[in-house]
A and B are shown apart, each in its own frame.
Chain A
Amino acid sequence: EPEVTQTPSHQVTQMGQEVILRCVPISNHLYFYWYRQILGQKVEFLVSFYNNEISEKSEIFDDQFSVERPDGSNFTLKIRSTKLEDSAMYFCASSEGEGALETQYFGPGTRLLVL
């Protein structure tokens, strides 16, 4: 069964460093998303992406964040200058159609720790 994959599974970085989290969405899906979950808290929407552009973003998704689909399969989240509060699990998701009309399938997550 097709699934969303994410790499790396864990990443430790120093405050101020740039990180890139990678995702491979399900191949026939057109909509892509990033969510994050601070330890022990709820899952929060960051951004949605369709047709090579951001279609919606939350207030969390400020200028230090960016997303890109560099090729036909990968979808990346870049955090330019990490802060301690960026420590969280980051989930990528994809859906065939628009998010609420089609189910969003989530990847296994990347656990980011900023020291």
Chain B
Amino acid sequence: AQKVTQAQTEISVVEKEDVTLDCVYETRDTTYYLFWYKQPPSGELVFLIRRNSFDEQNEISGRYSWNFQKSTSSFNFTITASQVVDSAVYFCALSQGFQKLVFGTGTRLLVSP
């Protein structure tokens, strides 16, 4: 069965520091999708990125970047020059079949001024 592990429960950084959130997954599927969602204190889930298993290219979007490595089953997320507004819980998720997302337990990021 699919499994997503986010070993970091909580990370605290000071503004402008870079921070990497780890995500390790397990799947037997040859085709699958990985996602990152952000959950700010207000509670909603905000989509950040989707990556399919055939595309190992790293992606950069502004201060955000993602490193997908199939060899280590990891899909890590880096925030460069963190800001207070980045404070949130970040969830990594993995597709199971075509209908379902399996979420990790989340990493709470606290960015202090």
Contact = CB atoms under 8 A, between A and B. Distances in A.
Interface of A: 31, 33, 35, 41-45, 48, 55-56, 58, 89, 91, 93, 98-101, 103-109, 111
A82 to B, nearest CB: 20
Contacts of B50: 103
Given A41-B105, A42-B104, A42-B106, A100 B44 contact: no
Contacts of B35: 103
B45 to A, nearest CB: 4
List 4 A-B pairs, minimum CB-CB distance, nearest first. A100-B95, A106-B45, A98-B98, A48-B99
A109 B97 contact: no
Nearest to A41: B105
27 contacts: A35-B101, A42-B103, A42-B104, A42-B105, A43-B103, A45-B102, A48-B100, A56-B97, A56-B100, A93-B45, A98-B98, A99-B95, A99-B97, A99-B98, A100-B98, A100-B99, A100-B100, A103-B35, A103-B47, A106-B45, A106-B46, A106-B47, A108-B42, A108-B43, A108-B44, A109-B44, A111-B43
A93 B46 CA distance: 11
Contact of B33 (A43, A101, A107, A111): A101
Nearest to A54: B99
A99 B102 CA distance: 11
Contacts of B100: 45, 48, 56, 58, 99-100
Interface residues of B, number: 25
Contacts of B33: 100-101
State the main secondary structure of chain A at its contact with B. strand
Given A44-B103, A104-B47, A106-B45, 18 more contacts: A33-B99, A35-B101, A42-B104, A43-B101, A43-B103, A48-B100, A93-B45, A99-B99, A100-B97, A100-B101, A101-B98, A103-B47, A105-B47, A106-B37, A106-B44, A106-B46, A107-B44, A108-B43
B44 A104 contact: no
A43 B45 contact: yes
